[in-house]
Amino acid sequence: MPSTRTQVYLTDEQRERVDRVAASEGLTMAQVIRRALDEYLDDLPDPDAALDATFGAAPDAATPSRDSWPRG
């Protein structure tokens, strides 16, 4: 995969925290940030799985009538 360069602006506190992790683990700042992004992106919920898991969860749910809604 070709490498692309992207600028990311961190707060002073974020930079200090990344630097501490990098120093303690013998990594570069880029490695720490890439690892954190990979972990974050791997944890994103799958919307299809969420829908499959909840489909039919409330079979007795009633849909209110729209007859009383104002129309204009």
Count of alpha carbons within 13 Å of 50, Cβ hemisphere only? Answer: 4
In a domain, 55, yes or no: no
- On the question of pLDDT at 2 being above 80, the answer is no
pLDDT for the residue 51: 83
- On the question of pLDDT at 57 being above 90, the answer is no
Q: Give the residue-averaged pLDDT of 3-8.
A: 86
Q: How many domains would you assign to the chain?
A: 1
Q: How wide is the angle at C-alpha 40 spanned by C-alphas 34 and 46, nearest 5°?
A: 135
Considering only residues 44 and 22, tell me which one the structure prediction assigns the higher pLDDT: 22
- On the question of pLDDT at 18 being above 70, the answer is yes
In a domain, 14, yes or no: yes
CATH number of the CATH domain containing 4: 1.10.1220
Structural domain boundaries, residue 18: 1-46
